[in-house]
Amino acid sequence: MINDYILKKDAKYWKEYFEESNFDKKFYYDGNDLGAMYSKEKTLFKVWAPTAVEVYLNLYVTGSDEEVNAQLLETLPMKREEKGVFSYIKRGDLHGIYYTYTVTANGQTVETGDVYAKACGVNGHRSMVVDMERTNPDGWEKDMPIHYPLEDTQIWEVHIGDFSNDVASGVKSTYLGKYLAFTQENTTLEEDGVHSTCLAYLKQLGITHVQLLPSFDYGSVDEQMKDGSFNWGYDPINYNVPEGSYATDAFNGATRIKEYKQMVASLHKAGIAVVMDVVYNHTYSLNSHFNKTVPFYYYRQWEDGSFANGSACSNDTASDRAMFRKYMIDSVLYWIKEYHIDGFRFDLMGLHDVETMNEIRKAIDSLGECGKDIIIYGEPWAAADSPLKEPMKFAKKDAIVQLHERIAVFNDDTRDCIKGAYNKLQDPGFVNGKLGIEEEVKRAIKGMFAREWDVQPDSPAKLLNYVSAHDNSTLWDKLVDSVIKDRSYETKHETLIFMNKLAAAMVQFSKGIPFMQAGEEGGRTKLGEDNSYNLSKELNQIDWNRMYKFEDLINYYKGLISVRKSLLDIKTLTKEAADKINFIEGLPDQVVGYELGSQLKTLVIFNASNKVVELPLKGEWRLLVNECEAKPEGIKLMSKKVYISPICANVLVQIG
């Protein structure tokens, strides 16, 4: 059989071989020692390469040949062991030594980094042996994961660079756009020294979780930063290593690890949990450590052997093959244990099979109490068609039915209902003037998908509600694009603000976990660009001066977050309770109102019309939210009647 591996075979051959020859049974390796296992006395190198005829270990002084002292130290033959694992034990303290493997498989010999690398050199080509102890910042042993009740979760999604690339952030110049910007505690606007920015700002906002756009090592930005390029980073190279362009030194493999931990510790100290955006569904390119180590194995293939393109990147990974499933599980557990990560957002989760996702949830839960509070959610869709078949493949409705009860999904139907279609810039939704969608709004309130999928999850923790994320227009830009063309609105700044406030209230007071793009609360704009993944950092970054031009809006968001926190009936809305929601009848067009609560009721009205709406009240009520304010302690007492201003949400609670 070994001889087969020497000869070059085509993609179709390998697909059949991996899927029809009991390959996964024969070669599945369940050990937890893949990678470079460091100790002071020796390092054990182990790489899974069952189709390789030979593997050599190369040791280097530096992470690339362009650095001072670059030198290949040794090339060592590795020994083939059970399950196609090749190993080598090297005596001595190897911390800081860079390494690669030279793998001969499928008729070719290539040099590759280690798929299980924990550290790497610049741009991730070479892996590095690392003594993890030496990367721990002071006090790391005391750093603890952050736990919040699921129903109080509020997620704020930010790109590490966007957070502080703006010099107005007041962050130290060497930390701008870096992990370490998150460690500066009392930053203020450069120009006034008063208004809080970055971490100090976040502490006041009331969010519980920061979700970082890709922070593993990705390929689209040159870590030497010679070209000043920007990217969101949905193009993984080393899944288990932090990205180097956010580190103060991308050449020393230990620096990015330590600084990432410093960022996590600082957010934790501020009471904020950290969610990683993980992109296990594809890699930067097929010229990856994975494909060089075991050609074709890690990638999903069509019947003819060609690579699947459900990610729109032409190289979908194969979560349904045993060793990539294991890889995903190992990787999330590693980030939890080594970096104290509190949650994961799975990019294009629809490309991962149901079993893998549920196995990941189980593996995390097996960590005990700490594991159960770690949140998992993802996009319940793919970017394009994929060979993955039912029942492994899931669509949105299956995500509710088949996925573990504590894996949540983004509800894009609610998103589009509130502010209009994501892919048609001028199309409005409820808040910006679309007529005749009152029934959709009711579905959104109950946490349901579009009409054709008549399912409602039991728990509100199964859904994420949002009106902006890194993809597509910012909420502000969407409102501008959808309204400016419509002359029936006097598109004053003020009107846009009211629409924005109403959209935010609908997110907070519908069934699901609230999620927002960083800066949505401050009128963030990308000047109408709806796909800024590789545009300039200036266009992408949070403009901290602009944020404070929207201070009233920011305060409104703060208020909404604290009002929601106080409303147990809404934040814990189960299917049973949602089915008992009393939608108020006889309201005018563009107005939806509901009452819920078994004893003292909560009353919520979303008025998207441009008229004042009058509603009679029985008994005494406390008004918590109107067009100007949102206060859990209440704005004023009301009885007999409430007048709801045009384009605004009102929330009232009964007091007798």
Residue (217 or 320) nearer to Ca ion, CB: 217
Confirm or reject binding of residue 217 to Ca ion (CB under 5 A).
yes
Question: Is residue 297 helix, strand or coil?
Answer: coil
Q: CB of residue 117 vs Ca ion: minimum separation in angstroms?
A: 12
Q: CB of residue 219 vs Ca ion: minimum separation in angstroms?
A: 6
Question: Is residue 355 helix, strand or coil?
Answer: helix
Amino acid at 332: V
Q: CB of residue 241 vs Ca ion: minimum separation in angstroms?
A: 8
Q: CB of residue 256 vs Ca ion: minimum separation in angstroms?
A: 9
Active-site residue among 316, 347, 543, 627?
347
Residue (261 or 268) nearer to Ca ion, CB: 261
Q: What is the DSSP string of 394-448?
A: --HHHHHHTS-TTEEEE-HHHHHHHH--TT-TT---TTTT--S-HHHHHHHHTT-
Question: Is residue 82 helix, strand or coil?
Answer: helix
Confirm or reject binding of residue 157 to Ca ion (CB under 5 A).
no
Binding positions for Ca ion, 240-269, rule CB under 5 A: 243-244
Q: CB of residue 477 vs Ca ion: minimum separation in angstroms?
A: 29
Residues contacting Ca ion: total by CB under 5 A: 3
Binding positions for Ca ion, 20-79, rule CB under 5 A: none
Judge contact between 500 and 553, C-beta under 8 A: yes
Residue (51 or 288) nearer to Ca ion, CB: 288
* Residue whose pair of structure tokens reads 């009106």 in the numeric block: 467
Residue span binding Ca ion (CB under 5 A) among the ranges 19-27, 160-168, 239-247, 475-483: 239-247
Q: CB of residue 517 vs Ca ion: minimum separation in angstroms?
A: 23
> How many angstroms separate the CA atoms of 374 and 464, rounded?
15
Residue (122 or 604) nearer to Ca ion, CB: 122
Residue (229 or 639) nearer to Ca ion, CB: 229
Q: HSE on the CB side for 218, CA within 13 Å?
A: 20
Binding positions for Ca ion, 323-362, rule CB under 5 A: none
Judge contact between 151 and 463, C-beta under 8 A: no
Cis amide bond preceding 391, omega within 30: yes
Smallest Cα–Cα separation from 457: which of 497, 427, 500, 414? 414
- What counts of helices (H) and strands (E) characterise the chain? 20, 25
Active-site residue among 143, 353, 379, 481?
379
Residue span binding Ca ion (CB under 5 A) among the ranges 212-220, 263-271, 287-295, 521-529: 212-220
Q: CB of residue 243 vs Ca ion: minimum separation in angstroms?
A: 5
In Å, how far are 434, 445, 491, 594, 596 from 589, measured between CA atoms?
A: 10, 17, 21, 15, 21
Residue (95 or 256) nearer to Ca ion, CB: 256
Q: CB of residue 537 vs Ca ion: minimum separation in angstroms?
A: 16
Residue (145 or 233) nearer to Ca ion, CB: 233
Judge contact between 299 and 327, C-beta under 8 A: no
Residue of this chain nearest to Ca ion (CB atom)? 217
> How many angstroms separate the CA atoms of 305 and 20, rounded?
13
Told to judge if 347 belongs to the known catalytic residues of this protein, a careful annotator would answer: yes
Binding positions for Ca ion, 101-140, rule CB under 5 A: none
> How many angstroms separate the CA atoms of 56 and 77, rounded?
5
Q: HSE on the CB side for 387, CA within 13 Å?
A: 19
Residue span binding Ca ion (CB under 5 A) among the ranges 55-63, 211-219, 284-292, 579-587: 211-219
Binding positions for Ca ion, 427-456, rule CB under 5 A: none
Q: CB of residue 337 vs Ca ion: minimum separation in angstroms?
A: 23
Q: What is the DSSP string of 27-67?
A: H----S--EEEE-SSEEEEEEE-TTEEEEEEEEESSSSTTS
Smallest Cα–Cα separation from 647: which of 526, 427, 491, 484? 491
Residue (128 or 513) nearer to Ca ion, CB: 128
353: tokens are: 């099979």
Residue (165 or 473) nearer to Ca ion, CB: 165
Residue (118 or 419) nearer to Ca ion, CB: 118
> How many angstroms separate the CA atoms of 384 and 120, rounded?
32
Judge contact between 208 and 153, C-beta under 8 A: yes
Residue span binding Ca ion (CB under 5 A) among the ranges 126-134, 210-218, 501-509, 547-555: 210-218
Judge contact between 121 and 98, C-beta under 8 A: yes
For 469, counting Cβ atoms within 10 Å of its Cβ (0-12 exposed, 13-18 middle, 19+ buried), the class is: buried
Told to judge if 355 belongs to the known catalytic residues of this protein, a careful annotator would answer: no
Residue (217 or 353) nearer to Ca ion, CB: 217
Q: CB of residue 216 vs Ca ion: minimum separation in angstroms?
A: 9
> How many angstroms separate the CA atoms of 441 and 502, rounded?
12
Q: CB of residue 244 vs Ca ion: minimum separation in angstroms?
A: 5
> How many angstroms separate the CA atoms of 47 and 115, rounded?
8
Q: CB of residue 239 vs Ca ion: minimum separation in angstroms?
A: 12
Q: Where are the beta strands (DSSP E) in 456-598?
A: 463-465, 513-517, 582-583, 591-596
Residue (281 or 356) nearer to Ca ion, CB: 281
Residue span binding Ca ion (CB under 5 A) among the ranges 142-150, 216-224, 358-366, 583-591: 216-224
Question: Is residue 277 helix, strand or coil?
Answer: strand
> How many angstroms separate the CA atoms of 97 and 60, rounded?
6
What's the CA angle centered on 153, arms 147 and 155, to 5 degrees?
A: 110
301 — phi, psi (to 5°)?
Answer: -125, 150
Confirm or reject binding of residue 413 to Ca ion (CB under 5 A).
no
Residue span binding Ca ion (CB under 5 A) among the ranges 167-175, 189-197, 237-245, 646-654: 237-245
Residues forming contacts to Ca ion in the complex (CB under 5 A) are: 217, 243-244
Q: Indicate which residues carry an active-site annotation.
A: 347, 379
